[in-house]
Amino acid sequence: MGAPTLARAAAGLRSVLSVIPGTPAQPVRPSAEPPGWSLTRVEDWATIERLLTADHPPVGLMRVVADNIDACQRFLAGGSGVEWIALCDPPDGQSHDALEDLLATAFFDFHTLPADPDRLAAVLGHAAGMGQLRRHTRARQAELTADTGGILGDSPGIQALRRDLAKVARCPATVLIHGESGSGKELAAQAIHHASSRAAGPFVAVNCGAIPTNLVQSELFGHERGAFTGAQQRRCGHLERAQGGTILLDEVGELTLEHQVNLLRVLEERAVTRVGGTERVPLDVRVVAATHVDLAAAVEAGRFREDLYYRLNVLRIDIPPLRERGDDIERLAHVFLERFRSAYLSPVRGFTGPALGALRRHSWPGNVRELINRIQRAVAMGHRPLLTPGDLGLEARQGPIRQVETLDDARARAERAAILGALARCERNVSRAARELGISRVTLYRIMHRLGLQP
């Protein structure tokens, strides 16, 4: 891309950001400057990048021709937060599908040259107002994501989760994270790592359920050259690669009993022996395990070793499922929509009322991962400003999904939400929370134990 130009305000005039992607810098000038607006040339990318990250004008002009469509797309994909108006050549009678698609999806409006200055000034005013409104919306969304370690949301359960993660990060003990698939277990593990004294070290995530059974030992512990067919050189395992940092053993409940024994030995000895080797390699690694299954029930059923369970379950973190997070669903939906809208240059701007209602009613068996996938697909395929329930794939499935919840499920969900809310308001003080809920402390402990919640 060539250098951009920026319209900087003279005294009493509003400024317009002006860019000509893919060509040498030159000012974009209509037949006459729009009344009340001033365009001034800026010739270097450093200036434009600084202005785009500071208090830049909310509206801009972009010169678009058939030869710079790719450059325009690359520039717009940066998601600068500017409402763009395209300046194009008059129609020449030929078909320009790519140009028409770009104008229809990425611009607030377009004008053919020579542009009428009064009409352009009016459109600039409308675009500037809309830009300010959308920047305000994005600022509210930024508050949602700021200082959260990537854990988005403001529901009582998420507030309690952030406090628990901060406490756990300060302690070097092993952590067990429990949560449904797609609820954000790896994100929680990353938050623990980055807030801990090991933040400068590596963070290694391993999905134990995705490793073929015959390769688990080699993947986790490493192997020596010649240990088996195809082992042509020594290879460090994931545990060694995490030296000085944190390793996440995701879906640890999927390990076989044999591999559980091997992992227990490593955790107890704080050393690993590579497959085919005899040397014991000392480990300086913090272990965070994660699972979507009830390991206590797996122990009772004989599928998980009790000694390993207690070795892993020193500090426990429970991730609330998305269906229990109330207003977070709508907030997250807007965050992800903005993220994908900018990346895909999509015309989608928001949700219809019925779409927001469908998002709130859906039971989210896939949790945040499912929400991300539905928003991503809807934004990529959308061709209207507002998404409908059908765009999100919720219209046909809504009824059957809600009908599968049993009365016991509903009661447990309500109890969990009430307890997490009370604990959040009472700063994790169980006695105060019990008084607020109108039950004894012993009863609250018993219910929390049944629901798998930590005090």
pLDDT of res. 55:
58
Is the model's pLDDT at 364 over the cut of 90? yes
Count the Cβ atoms, other than its own, within 10 Å of residue 70: 13
> Is there a contact between 355 and 375 (Cβ–Cβ < 8 Å)?
no
Predicted TM-score (pTM) of this structure = 0.63
* Maximum mean pLDDT: which of 38-47, 209-218, 410-419: 209-218
Is the model's pLDDT at 115 over the cut of 70? yes
**Dist. CA 447–CA 415, nearest whole Å:** 8
62 residue type, one letter: M
Tens of pLDDT along 288-325?
Answer: 999 999 999 999 999 999 999 999 999 999 999 999 99
* Maximum mean pLDDT: which of 94-103, 387-396, 417-426: 387-396
Least confident of 67-81, 155-169, 217-231, 284-298: 67-81
pLDDT of res. 404:
47
> Is there a contact between 269 and 219 (Cβ–Cβ < 8 Å)?
no
- Across 200-214, b (16+ Cβ under 10 Å) vs e yields ebebbbbebeebeee
Task: Give me the mean pLDDT over the 269-274 stretch.
Answer: 90
Tens of pLDDT along 91-108?
Answer: 877 777 888 888 877 888
Q: Classify domain 336-402 by CATH architecture.
A: Orthogonal Bundle (1.10)
- Across 366-398, b (16+ Cβ under 10 Å) vs e yields bbbebbbebbbebbeebeeeebbbebbbbeeeb
Q: Fold identical between 5-145 and 170-318?
A: yes
pLDDT of res. 118:
85
pLDDT of res. 89:
84
**Dist. CA 99–CA 426, nearest whole Å:** 58
Least confident of 13-17, 237-241, 442-446: 13-17
Q: Classify domain 5-145 by CATH architecture.
A: 3-Layer(aba) Sandwich (3.40)
What fold characterizes domain 170-318? Answer: Rossmann fold (3.40.50)
Q: Supply 94's token pair.
A: 């030929």
**Length, in residues, of the chain:** 455
Q: Where are the beta strands (DSSP E) in 295-428?
A: 315-318, 350-351, 386-387
Percent of the chain with pLDDT over 70: 79
Is the model's pLDDT at 194 over the cut of 90? yes
**Dist. CA 360–CA 325, nearest whole Å:** 10
Enumerate the domain spans of the chain: 5-145, 170-318, 336-402, 407-451
